[in-house]
Chains A and B, each alone.
Chain A
Amino acid sequence: MPEVSSALSLSTVVLFIPIVGFLAILVFLREEQHTEQIKWTALGTSLVAFVVSLLLWIGYDASVPGLQMVQRNDWLPSAGISFYVGVDGLSLLLIILTTFIMPLAILSSFRVHVLEERGRQKLYYAFMLLLEFAMLGVFMAQDLFLFYVFWEITLVPMYFLIGIWGAEQRMYAAVKFFLYTMAGSILMLLAILYVGIQAGTFSLPDIVAGIQSGAIAFPMDGVLSSTQSFLFLGFFIAFAIKVPLWPFHSWLPDAHVQAPTAGSVILAGVLLKLGTYGIVRFCLPLFPEASVAWAPYVAVLAIIGIIYGAWVSYAQKDVKKLVAYSSVSHLGFVVLGIFALNAQGIQGGILQMVNHGISTGGLFLLVGMLYERRHTKAMDAFGGIWKAMPLFGGLSLIVVLSSMGLPGLNGFVGEFVILLGSFGSSVLGPLFTLFATLGVILAAVYMLYMFQKVFMGELDKEENKNLPQLHWQELAVLIPIIIAIFWIGLQPRPFFDTMDASVNQVVEQVHPYVVQAENTAMLTVDEFVQTAAVR
């Protein structure tokens, strides 16, 4: 049991910083007179949140698996609901990812013409901060009620970001995004209620402790017809839609392509991770038996997603769509890693969530910068961009290679550990790894194809010859991403160390239900990190 205090904790501070900025913009600043102030307030707020969240990381004791910086206050005591937040190894990196991506997304919006065109900048930046608040809340919430509140709140600002500042089909995409994800999460509401009624509380650590001690049990007597399976599915489908796992992905290309650049960055960077994070945080500890039983089926879907996403990406003529579908493929890896149900798989999954946030977020930023210059996203319209904008081309190459999983860059570390985990997993196995590896190859194919079409070749189009070079604000957005790509790629140890204890705790919770097979882990993460460092 984590130590529970009702005093203000650092995690609560991080959580509420965006709301301070949100209220400041809404109350004190006016659309017409204060456009600049609105922008800088939003950026400043998100930067403060980032800095304070780093304190969270510094203050975090990685050797302790449980929650830290916990705060718990009664919210609805008669119904067993409390305001209960804290961080642990599962959520900490994702919290940092959120606070890292947000300032970049906000800064990248400063020079976006669609904002000038459609106006309502006050609303835009207010929604950005509201979104940051909700996402941080999802990662920090330790009470099922609180979690659901934040989970649903994320829909509202994202809906408006897509709907008001999106591309031509924005209305359709926004409504589809809202309805699709709401349909998924509403069944989770019932599952949450059921779990809460059975447990008599909605506090997640209490429920998990109850399950561990055997005080609370959800019967599992058949894969298809048991209570635990239904509850597992109630949660899992909500998460799978958010991820999105094939075949629940159809909202994603629409939302991604129609969203404004910053919207896509946040969507790919953080929002999709709410799903994969939810699986690790809720599905595995609450329903360990069902998780084990469903793991192979889920893994098959993940593999289909990996290959399908890659395949469809390759067929795209629109750069943004290509990146959007690549998310389906990448997130398939994450889900595969999680359902390997061993330490490597889950650690790789979590790291890959961070990696995907950085790389794909970066790709969307790059596409956005191209779009600002040429007002098109069709691959045919480009070619030879490297010659027109060498610096931009170079930075793009790094991001593309990172997304492909080149050794030495961040993507490789995550994918490799996931493959390792799935190979050694006693619920999955080498066959799954084999097919997933196919996805790695395909990723190289579509990414390089895209890079070649856009950046290489002759600079033969007149419009492309005089493209303006990168503005300092754009550079300021890209540099942190490049740094992160190299840092994780070359020095992954601190990241693994942070989550190690917490992940092991989850694995132990699932462990009793995993049938032990002969071919357990071939390589431990530690060994792997050493080999990576040598390289």
Chain B
Amino acid sequence: MFQVPTIADLNLGLTLPALSLALGACVLLLLDLFVPRERKEITAWLAMAGIAVSFVLNLAGFNESGTAFLGTFAADQFTGFLNIVILITAFLGVLLSLDYLKRAKIERGEYYVLLLLSAAGMMFMSSANDLIVVFIALELLSIPLYIMATFRAPDLKSEESGMKYFILGAFAGAFFVYGAALVYGATGTTNLPEIFAAVNGIIAAGGSQMFLLLMGTGLILVGLGFKVAVVPFHMWTPDVYEGAPTPVTAFMSVGAKAGGFAGLLRIMVVALPVFVLKDGQTAAAWQQTFWLVAAATLILGNIVAIAQTNVKRMLAYSSIAHAGYIMMAVAAAGTAGVANEATRAALLYLMAYMFTNLGAFGIALAIEKDDGSDTGVDNFIGLAKSKPALAAMMTVFMLSLTGIPLTGGFVGKWFVFKSALDAGLVPLAIIGVLTSVISAFYYVRIIVNMYLKDGEGDPAAGATRYVNWAIYVAFAGTLLMGIFPWIATNLSDTVVLAVEMFVR
């Protein structure tokens, strides 16, 4: 019989970080009504306060784990770590937006509310323990982003960006739902641990259930693969990244990936790790597909990025490429015994990518003109003369994206490659390192433009106080993670996503 759950059953304490942010967004929506039009920075500060509260709650509950909302919501170190990434992304996103919205004359209080809602969606995603919650979180994450992408309307590119993102995103959502339905059809449950329990029976039974599960897994990959922009579901990325206002691009390039990979890792590692086509295989059936997707993403993302002349597009393709590296870790998680290590690698990579990419976008934003123009790769020419500090930091970001040591990017790559080798995916690891050399080509070109070419140099009028703060934070994070990697690894050392019995 169905029992009406009491409040105590819901276990709300564990959900506080995500819940507080979502509630904060609602409260902010109300408060914003009382903030006068010309003083919208108050809304931004309130939003940052909300993020800070959630951050503190997250740290306070970092070592607690358990489930809430009747098993549909899981809180563990995986959640805690990703929440840190998501909340820092949101915080820097707000900092980058403050002056930008003002000078682009698109300042509105709703922007910050949407940003908080999206961040809350990402946090729910990192906790989702049920396919339905994954879907709800996915939509909560995406819908505000669609709106934020069009924030520059009636600018055509911005409208195109939002429209494209919305239509393709809705498609992808549908794929995901269909996949979830098929998995439900095969297992009779949407709860991830229960799916895990049901999988062994399905393998034993074989037949049509197996087929449903396989189809379902594939469609889930399509749905989430779109969110994290892996090949062949990446087509929207350059247009959306280019057209959306730069702080939105910065926020979604990191946040949406963090959310998408959170969902992907949870589903694959918690629910489907033992899903093999033949009994006795040590790697999950989906590993092969993920492997191919990762390889294609690495190759395409890195090669096409070379041809880009707009820095936002270049960073878009670079973000595709980095999704490939994270995908490599997800693929490695398909091997029995490597799952937890690979999950940690993916998390560390996401954190390094977060700092580096937000910093790089911050600098792109700083040289952008008020009307959104001048984001060419050539606009970096001479920056070392006009703004030596910005150029030096951009150099560090580019080296970090390349994966040069003493930066966070190297630490991330180290762990990702290590997990790939541990999982026996040697060819994938080789593709990974070779494509990093290709990536050096376009990252170094920015450095060449800043330091080696003579030119007047952009005054970088967008480098206002808050933008600078955000860049400093990103810079410090990138270097700290590179020089003192234990800070990040200690946070993730306790991440255990794969259930005990899976470690065989």
Contacts and interface: CB of A to CB of B under 8 A. Distances in A.
Tell me if chain B binds chain A: yes
Interface of A: 75-79, 120, 145, 148-150, 152-153, 155-156, 159-160, 163-164, 170-171, 174-175, 178-179, 182-183, 186-187, 189-190, 193-194, 196-197
A163 B437 CA distance: 19
Given A79-B489, A153-B405, A179-B440, 6 more contacts: A75-B485, A145-B414, A150-B405, A155-B404, A170-B452, A183-B434
B486 interface: yes
Chain B residues touching A, majority SS: helix
B448 interface: yes
B399 A171 contact: no
B448 A187 contact: no
Contacts of A145: 414
A75 B405 CA distance: 14
Interface string B467-497: 0000000000000000001100110010000
Interface in B316-359: none
A533 B226 CA distance: 75
Nearest to B437: A183
B493 A178 contact: no
Given A145-B414, A190-B429, A193-B417, A175 B444 contact: yes
A78 to B, nearest CB: 6
B83 interface: no
A193 B418 contact: yes
Contact of B404 (A77, A156, A183): A156
Interface of B: 384, 399, 402, 404-406, 410, 414-415, 417-418, 421-422, 426, 429-430, 433-434, 436-437, 440-441, 444, 448, 451-453, 485-486, 489-490, 493
A78 B489 contact: yes
19 contacts: A75-B486, A76-B485, A76-B486, A77-B486, A79-B415, A148-B405, A150-B405, A155-B404, A159-B444, A170-B452, A171-B452, A174-B452, A175-B444, A175-B448, A179-B437, A179-B441, A190-B433, A193-B421, A197-B422
**Which of A120, A174, A187, A189 is the most central at the interface, judged by chain B CB atoms within 10 Å of its CB?**
A189
B448 A171 contact: yes
A197 B415 CA distance: 11
Nearest to A152: B405
B299 to A, nearest CB: 15
A169 to B, nearest CB: 12
B433 A187 contact: yes
Given A76-B485, A152-B405, A153-B404, A179 B451 contact: no
Given A179-B444, A190-B433, A197-B418, A149 B452 contact: no
Contacts of B444: 159, 175, 178-179
**Which of A155, A178, A179 is the most central at the interface, judged by chain B CB atoms within 10 Å of its CB?**
A178
A76 B482 CA distance: 11
Contacts of B489: 76, 78-79
A298 B490 CA distance: 43
Contacts of B384: 120
A194 B452 contact: no
Nearest to A145: B414
A75 B411 CA distance: 12
B148 to A, nearest CB: 36
Contacts of A75: 485-486
Nearest to A151: B405
